[in-house]
Amino acid sequence: ETTQVDEELARQDAQELHEAEKERWGTDRDSKLMSLISTKSYSHLRAVFTEYEKLTQADMIDILKDELSGEFLEAMLALVKVVFYCPKFFAERVYHAMRPRGDAATLIRCLMTRAEADMPLIRKAYKKTYGA
């Protein structure tokens, strides 16, 4: 993934997303939201979401909760959390997987897929969030 972002394009995408939101976001394949999440890098999405938050003066998580529902909402919330701070997202997953009703498969998946990528950052986010 490239980390270079065209800030002007990010602002333009945020403006277009805002215009689309006025008519309600759709989950159809032609919606601006679907176009963004299926064609842009995490770096670009981070820039678009940041610009969108500036434009609307609202938190992206709150906006999604107002606009979407069901499994699509859950998927979009996960995407936004990963885009903004991947280690914290996985720290949350590990924490909930280790709870009494946790999911061992989720815990194993998190540990195996992130072990070499960013486990030290996940450990740090976990300790900061959960104090353990």
Q: How far apart are CA 51 and CA 73, in angstroms?
A: 20
**Angle value at C-alpha 82, between 2 and 88, nearest 5 degrees:** 120
For residue 64, is pLDDT > 90? no
Q: Which of 81, 132, 131 is nearest to 93 (CA)?
A: 81
**pLDDT tens digits for 32-63?**
888 898 899 989 999 999 999 999 999 989 98
